[in-house]
Amino acid sequence: MATNKIKTNLTMLTDFYELTMANGYFAKGYKDTICYFDMFFRKVPDHGGFAIMAGVEQLVHYLQNLHFDEDDIEYLRSRHIFREDFLDYLKNFKFACDVWTVPEGTPIFPGEPIITVRGPVIQAQLIETMVLLCINHQSLIATKTNRIVRAAQGRAVMEFGSRRAQGADGAILGARAAYIGGAIGTACTFSDTDMGIPALGTMAHSWVQLFDSEYEAFKAYAEEYPHNCTLLVDTYNVLKSGVPNAIRVFNEVLGPMGIRPAGIRIDSGDITYLSKKARRMLDEAGYEDCKICASNSLDEYVIRDMIMQGAKVDSFGVGERLITSSSEPVFGGVYKLAAVENPDGTITPKIKISENVAKITTPGVKKIYRLYDRETDKAIADVITLADEVIDDEKPYEIFDPEYTWKRKTIENFRAVELRTQIFKNGECTYKPRALNAIRAYCAAQIDTLWDEVTRFENPHNYYVDLSQALWDQKNELLSANMSHLKG
């Protein structure tokens, strides 16, 4: 976890085979071999049209603190499989890689190298686990949150899932990712004290149960928190007890103070039906401005259906299905070798071949361009190119489907934006931190550049992620060469 309060050295949070491979590379003379590794993912969770990049700041913190301490070395020595000269190398370990990444909050698509690491193979291999852990987790939660936020159609969404998260990291950094994805705040107090994500919340059912009556519970809360009086009305009976008692307290406690109530919250039952009835009761009592919040096992589909059915809900508190992305709890990012840099500076592209076509990698050193229509400012397509290619947006440019190459389109009047930025150079951090509010706003603005067909939940349009002709040729040549070798 990379936060201000927790400064743990996570160097040993790596799969053990990264260390056995590192020892082997060292023994066989590959210690200084420069390699390029790409992180990419193969499909969008929940069959969505896009994902959201998140977790970069935590990755930066990890890389800045990468080192082996004496306890780490002693542990490795105790395994009796690592060379002593390799352990000496680890004692003096200093991160020396270059790292490029897509900025947090950017919509991302399958197959794109959202992170590239260049450096000595031991180092670039060692960090695989944490690269994937940081980006997979937060990208998953940011993506899920944004689906829920879009379903809410402008109504506020609050992240309420800390108690159902997978551990402290899942709660704290999940809240961060949810905020990037569009949530307005979190129930997790630590995420507010540490990262400034607004902590939100009022009362639980236990507050209401503790008092001799629901009315007394509401009255006590209103007296203590008159300017933020949101009452939980479903402990006993929403319509016969909860809402009437809330109205009574609004009249008797807040009214004489000249304060308007903040709202009520419904956490169980048929919330659509109950919210309609509660809205009518509040309006008739003169509290048209009193908001209704809904919680209880919500997700994007439940929220969408509630709104379609006319629910009178102003905000949603979403817990377990958001913080765990329970409908699809894995963001399948992978980290694969893409190229080896030879001593003379030339590049040897590397490819992984599989009978599963989706698992065939795109070889070589690459970059990503996003092409925008100059008139609409909508994203047209992404193009992955070789690192030395430049897309000239002053000239027409032909894009084509990498699988069905006869599908081609020439685009004009567009602007080409390179997506990735460098965050480490020779091991030195060049990352420019951004305020979380700025990342969140950037995310919302970038999603607005996507066509509605891409952002819909059901059968979203397949956004174009194309290869440049030169990159496609390189991949095809390597495939052909490897297939010929297998046949031979």
Tell me how far apart the alpha carbons of residues 198 and 204 are, in angstroms, rounded to a whole number.
19
In the numeric block, which tokens belong to residue 372? 């925008």
Instruction: Output the CATH code of domain 16-141+329-487.
Output: 3.20.140.10
Strand locations in 225-357 (E): 230-232, 263-266, 291-294, 315-318, 333-341, 347-349
What are the pLDDT digits (tens) for 118-137? Answer: 999 999 999 999 999 999 99
How many Cα atoms occupy the beta-carbon half-sphere of 370 within 13 Å?
19
- Whole-number Å distance between alpha carbons of 42 and 17: 23
DSSP string, 54-101: --HHHHHHHHHT----HHHHHHHHHTT-S-HHHHHHHHT-----EEEE
Please check whether residue 475 is in contact with residue 353, taking contact to mean a CB–CB distance below 8 angstroms.
Answer: no
Written as one string, the DSSP assignment of 201-261 is ----HHHHHHSSSHHHHHHHHHHH-GGG-EEE--SS-IIIIIHHHHHHHIIIIIHHHT---
Q: Which region holds residue 80: left if phi is over 0, alpha if psi is between -120 and 50, else beta? A: left
Residue 183: per-residue pLDDT:
98
Question: What is the C-alpha to C-alpha distance for residues 123 and 310, in angstroms, rounded to an integer?
Answer: 55
pLDDT for res 2: 42
Of residues 139, 222, 226, 216, the one with CA closest to residue 180: 139
In the chain, where the domains are located:
16-141+329-487
**Strand, coil or helix: 411:** strand
CA dist., res. 64 & res. 59, Å (int): 9
Encode pLDDT of 309-352 as tens digits. 999 999 999 999 999 999 999 999 999 999 999 999 999 999 99
Helix (H, G, I), strand (E, B) or coil at 166: coil
Half-sphere exposure of 191 (CA within 13 A, CB side): 27
**Dist. CA 467–CA 405, nearest whole Å:** 10
Measured between alpha carbons, how far is 100 from 113 in angstroms, rounded to an integer?
9
What residues contact residue 76 under an 8 Å CB cut-off, 6+ apart? 19, 82, 87, 90
Provide the residue type at 288 as one letter. E
Distance CA 291, CA 314 (A): 6
Question: What average pLDDT values come out for the chain (488 residues) when binned by 10 residues?
Answer: 58 97 97 97 97 97 95 97 97 96 98 98 98 98 98 98 95 98 97 96 97 98 98 98 98 98 97 98 98 96 98 98 97 97 96 88 97 98 98 97 94 98 98 97 98 96 96 94 65
- 436 contacts 183 by C-beta, under 8 angstroms: no
What's residue 9's pLDDT? Answer: 84
**β-pairing verdict for 379-386 and 465-467:** parallel
Q: What is the pTM of this model?
A: 0.96
- Residue 267 and residue 160: Cα distance in Å, rounded? 12
